[in-house]
Structure formats: structure tokens, C-alpha cells
Amino acid sequence: MFRTEMIENSDHSYDVVFYLSDYNASTEAALEFLTKSPSFRKIRNIVLVGAITVVIPLSQVVSKSDRYAMSYVFFGTYSQQLEYISVTQGSLGVISPSYFNLDQNGQLEQVTISHDFIESVHQQGMKVVPFLSNHWDRASGVAALENREQLAEELYQMIMEHHLDGINVDIENVSEKYRDAYTDLVRLLREKIPADREVSVAVAANPEGWTLGWHGSYDYKALGEIADHLFLMAYDEHYQGGESGPVASLSFVEQSIQYALHFVPREKIVLGLPFFGRIWSENGEISGQGISCQRIESIIARYDAKVTYDRVTRSPKAEFSLTEADNLVINGQTMKPGKYVIWFENSNSLKEKLALVDKYELKGAGSWALGQETADVWDYFSLWLNGKYFEDIAGHFAADAILSSAEKGYMVGVNHTAFAPEEAMTRAQAAAICARMLHLSEELSPYADTKGHWAEKQIGAMAKKGLLFGYEDGTFRPDEEMTREEVASLLYRVIGAEYEDESSPFTDVSPQRWSYKEITALAGKNILSGFPDGTFRPEAFLTRGEMAYLVQQVEKNIDS
């Protein structure tokens, strides 16, 4: 039907040429072949050669969501849930509503299943895969497992009757004693439900390899062999009734993935992300109650909360105080006067977790629960899930460095989908990047013109370390663009480089130039490079893409 040829570009990306015997008949098959290629992410253009030759940018033929993407829907009415779905920008392929709830006897509760809802979701190109849940009630879960033959048959009948696309099993808080029974329930469901419909299992995150308690109820290996995939609930690291801390630190999530990979193929793991946070009071009366990220956003604004990003756990937290005059009600409970802390998720923490899906080549990602997220999530969810990160870096010489800097949290985009690699680097951006690389503690800035600036505390940290300076008039000018020699001087101090009386390799950098020492020292370490004509162009502005490349080089020297 077709043969292929891969042509490498100068930036090590590829153009794929398909020689088609019949253009109309072969195009779809060629594109399907393409997306399954192990070099898929490095492909820039598709060239279809037949009766006519067509060159198509990859971004125009690949759907926005290539990896599996789902979300549970638990809160709100059917109409509200459809509204939640409507803002996801086509990011999801599967919706998992709460249709299969277990009562105290392990029997299915009577619920109203909306055929209008199911039809609406199907019309939008998504599947409806309800979840089976005991909602943490152990007696209910145990009874269901003991009654698994009848339960599996009832679930099968409901799935077929209501034209559902499968089932997600989410029975939690049963012990290791029911490990085999749990696996057997999933086996029964898989045997009954048609192969083209999903049977998946939500499993506890297990970074420490616990084998007892509710963690022990999941036989990762056996479940992975039977089910289409395991939904890894990589959250509730800190939980209601426990001590204060992040809901899902990056290390907790990554270690949970690594443990799962010992037993389950990567293509059968879906990473579960939290769209919620938890709140604790200083007096201990409020201890980890769940609260949606959307609500947290409004609390931060209303009470002028201090938000910091913990560099160790890679998690944000908000700290604020309430007075007698405040009337904050959370989950029906009025918060008393005092100090509070909320650990939650924001775009930075969610992006870092989404990047793990690409790093470990997992099947995809899902979330608990739709409607709890902030509106900006859907601006970047699909891009980051699929390892694309930014739409404007394809073919850029520094694309790999940009991705590396973004994954490590050193650099961020100008918005959720754009990096702007050809924009000039500002003094504030440079300060923030270096402060993150050096893991500096935030400090108040001594410069009047940085008060209230987004990078104020990073500028303060760099100033305190003596790595970045202001001007004689007492200003810092944070949004002023930096030249190539100014950045060279900054990075010279950051890595603590030493000048070894080297000669300049650049025709336009003479010994009389104020930045001669810094430029030649960094060039000697292969951090800086010039242009093909032998110049360095010290007074030209440094671009954000060039900075990403330099960050990659500087990091090697910091590590050494």
C-alpha cells in the first residue's frame, strides 16, 4: 500500500516520506503507521507522494490528544457535568461518571442514568466509562467482592443496556485478605464485557511497596494482565486526619510510577492527578479536609493568601489568616479565626506531573475530578500530556534544551502553550531562572521598582547572593532586555568561573571590552559560542531560546 523513507533535518528532527500507490486509500493507513512510530515525537513534516505530492506539518494531522486522557465526574447535576466537559477544549477521550455505587450489602444502588448525557458525550467523540465504587466503605467493598459473580453479571447487563463503553473498578479500603477476590472480580468483568469496551482498575499509589492494608488489596501484576489499564491514584500522600503536607509531591508520584513499572507494562498505566487540595488549621481542628482547586483559587484572592512553591516537594501551598469578621465555610463547616495552610495543585505542579507521563512513556493521564480544576488547566493539559509542551518550538535549534528547562522548572512559557524562543530575555526572567537553578531561598528585593513584580523575590535572592546588581540610581529595571555580554557576566558569577588569561575566540570581543574576561572564560568552558562569521555580537539581545541552551550548559558546570 505504501513504502516509507525518513529524511533527517539539520536539527535532528525528521521528515517522513510516504510513497503511496493510491493516495485516497493509503493516506489514513500511512498516518496510523506514523503515530505508532517510536520516532513519532521527532517527526516534523509528513510528505505524501502519489499522483500529487503534499507536505503536511505533523501538528495538522495529529489529534490534540494522542495519549489516553480521562476524568472522573462526581460532582454536580448532569447539566453541570456537561458544562464541565464543554470547557475541556477536546482534551479528554473518556468520561467516568458515578453510575455504579455499592450499598452496605455490596449491592448496586439504584441510580438514574441519563441517556441524554451519554448521547451528548458520545456525540462529542468521547467514551462513557462509569466507575464502580464503595466510596471508602470497607463493609460495602468486602460484601461486593464476596458477591462478585452476581455483581459482575449485573454490571455487564447495565453496560450493554445503557450503551456504556466499559467500567472502571474503584473499590477502596479493603484489605490484603481480599486481594485474590478483587482480582477475580476484574477477571469476571473482563470475560463478560466485550473486548472493545474498557475494563480498568483504580489502584492505590504505592511508593514504598506496602503489602498490607488497603494497599495490599491490589495485585498489580495480576490486575495488569487482565485489565486494559490501571489508573494510578497518585494523590492523597497527605490525607484527611493526617499531618499537613502536599497532596501529591513530585517524588511521591514518580516513586509510585517506578514501583508500578516493576509489575505493569508502561502502556497499561494511566497516571491519576488531583484537581483538589487539602486545608489544615494551626489549632488542629481542621485536618486535611478536601477542597477543589477552583475554590482554593478564590480563597487565595479573597484572603490575600501568601502562596509559595515548595522546591523540594514541587508543590504549592497557600497560607492565610482568618478573623472573627471572616465567614469562610468549607464543606459545610465554618472556619474559626486563626492561621491556615492549604496544599494544592497549580499549573506548575500539574505540568511537572504530566511530564512524567512522557518521561516514562505511560498510556496517559486522568484526574479526580472534573469541575474541581481551575480554568487554565485545559490550555496546556493535552500539550504536556503528549510531551509537546509548547506549540512554537518545533524545529528550533534549542527545542530539546527548552523542554529540559521546562521539565526541571527552570524556565516557563510566556503562556501555557507558547515559549516565545525568539523573544529577548529580560533581567527579571534571568534572575528567576538562575535563582531556580541554584535553589535559592526567596528574599525581599532591595530595589524600589521591583515591589510587587512577579520576580521580586527571585531578584532579591540573587541580589543577596551578590550575583545580580541594580543601577546607580537604585533601580533594577526588571523588564529591561539583556544583552549577550550581560548574560555572560551573570553566568560567569553563577558558576564561579575563573579567568585563565585566555584569548578571545571572537573577532568582536577585544581585551579592552568590559566583558572580555567573562566571555572568554565561558567560551573556554564551551558554555558560550558565537556565530558562523566568528563574531559574538555582545551588544545583541539574548533570546529566550538561547538562554535555554545556556541553562543546559551551565547546569553541567554547576553539577560538576
CATH no. for residue 335?
Answer: 3.10.50.10
CB of 242 closer than 8 Å to CB of 279? no
Measured distance CA(55)–CA(503) in Å, rounded: 47
**What does the pLDDT profile of the chain (560 residues) look like in tens digits?**
556 676 765 544 456 676 655 544 444 455 455 544 444 444 545 665 554 555 544 433 444 448 999 999 999 999 999 999 999 999 999 999 999 999 999 999 988 999 999 999 999 999 999 999 999 999 999 999 999 999 999 999 999 999 999 999 999 999 999 999 999 999 999 999 999 999 999 999 999 999 999 999 999 999 999 999 999 999 999 999 999 999 999 999 999 999 999 999 999 999 999 999 999 999 999 999 999 999 999 999 999 999 999 989 999 999 999 999 999 999 999 999 999 999 999 999 999 999 999 999 999 999 999 999 999 999 999 989 998 889 899 889 999 899 889 888 899 999 888 999 999 999 999 999 999 999 999 999 999 999 999 999 999 999 999 999 999 999 999 999 999 999 999 999 999 877 777 788 999 999 999 999 999 999 998 999 999 999 999 999 999 999 999 999 998 887 55
CATH number of the domain where residue 121 is located: 3.20.20.80
Q: Could you tell me if residue 363 is inside a domain?
A: yes
Assess whether 505 and 522 both reside in one domain.
yes
Give start and end residues of each alpha helix (H) in 261-368.
293-302, 347-359
Sheet strands side by side (includes 68-73): 100-101, 131-133, 166-170, 198-204, 229-233, 269-274, 364-368, 68-73, 94-97, 127-128
Assess whether 282 and 200 both reside in one domain.
no
Domain edge (last residue) among 362, 382, 402 = 382
The model's pTM? 0.77
Measured distance CA(557)–CA(174) in Å, rounded: 50
- The count of C-alpha atoms lying within 13 angstroms of the C-alpha of 333, restricted to the half-sphere facing its C-beta, is 12
CA–CA distances in Å: residue 180 to residues 141, 172, 183: 14, 14, 5
CB of 325 closer than 8 Å to CB of 333? no
Q: Could you tell me if residue 239 is inside a domain?
A: no
Residue 399's contacts (CB-CB under 8 Å, 6 or more residues apart) are 11, 393
Assess whether 288 and 263 both reside in one domain.
no
Residues of 265-288 as b/e, b for ≥16 C-beta within 10 angstroms?
Answer: eeebbbbbbbbbbbbbbeeeebbb
Assess whether 371 and 255 both reside in one domain.
yes
Number of domains in the chain: 4
Measured distance CA(212)–CA(220) in Å, rounded: 14
- Report the candidate in 353, 369, 350 with the shortest Cα–Cα distance to residue 168: 369
Return the DSSP state at 42: G
Residue 19: the pLDDT is 65
Q: Could you tell me if residue 241 is inside a domain?
A: no
Report residue 159: phi and psi, to 5°: -60, -45
Measured distance CA(464)–CA(443) in Å, rounded: 8
Assess whether 220 and 137 both reside in one domain.
yes
CB of 543 closer than 8 Å to CB of 421? yes
Assess whether 289 and 178 both reside in one domain.
no
Sign of torsion over alpha carbons 48, 54, 56, 60: negative
Residue 506: the pLDDT is 96
CA–CA distances in Å: residue 307 to residues 247, 341, 481: 16, 10, 28
Measured distance CA(14)–CA(4) in Å, rounded: 12
User: Which residues lie across from 178 on neighbouring strands?
Assistant: none
Q: Could you tell me if residue 409 is inside a domain?
A: yes
CB of 257 closer than 8 Å to CB of 250? no
**Strand 14-20 with 2-8, pairing:** antiparallel
CB of 86 closer than 8 Å to CB of 77? no
Q: Could you tell me if residue 387 is inside a domain?
A: no
Residue 194: exposure state from Cβ atoms within 10 A (0-12, 13-18, ≥19):
exposed
Q: Could you tell me if residue 169 is inside a domain?
A: yes
- Report the candidate in 104, 231, 86, 114 with the shortest Cα–Cα distance to residue 167: 231
- Residues annotated as catalytic (active site), given as ranges: 172
Return the DSSP state at 482: P
CB of 543 closer than 8 Å to CB of 422? yes
Assess whether 330 and 299 both reside in one domain.
yes
Longest dimension (CA), the chain: 87
Assess whether 377 and 492 both reside in one domain.
no
Residue 415 has a CB neighbour count (10 Å cut-off) of 12
Q: Could you tell me if residue 43 is inside a domain?
A: yes
Assess whether 332 and 404 both reside in one domain.
no
Assess whether 485 and 553 both reside in one domain.
yes
CB of 437 closer than 8 Å to CB of 411? no
Assess whether 103 and 192 both reside in one domain.
yes
Assess whether 441 and 531 both reside in one domain.
yes
Measured distance CA(516)–CA(186) in Å, rounded: 69
Whole domain around residue 25: which residue ranges?
2-60
Q: Could you tell me if residue 298 is inside a domain?
A: yes
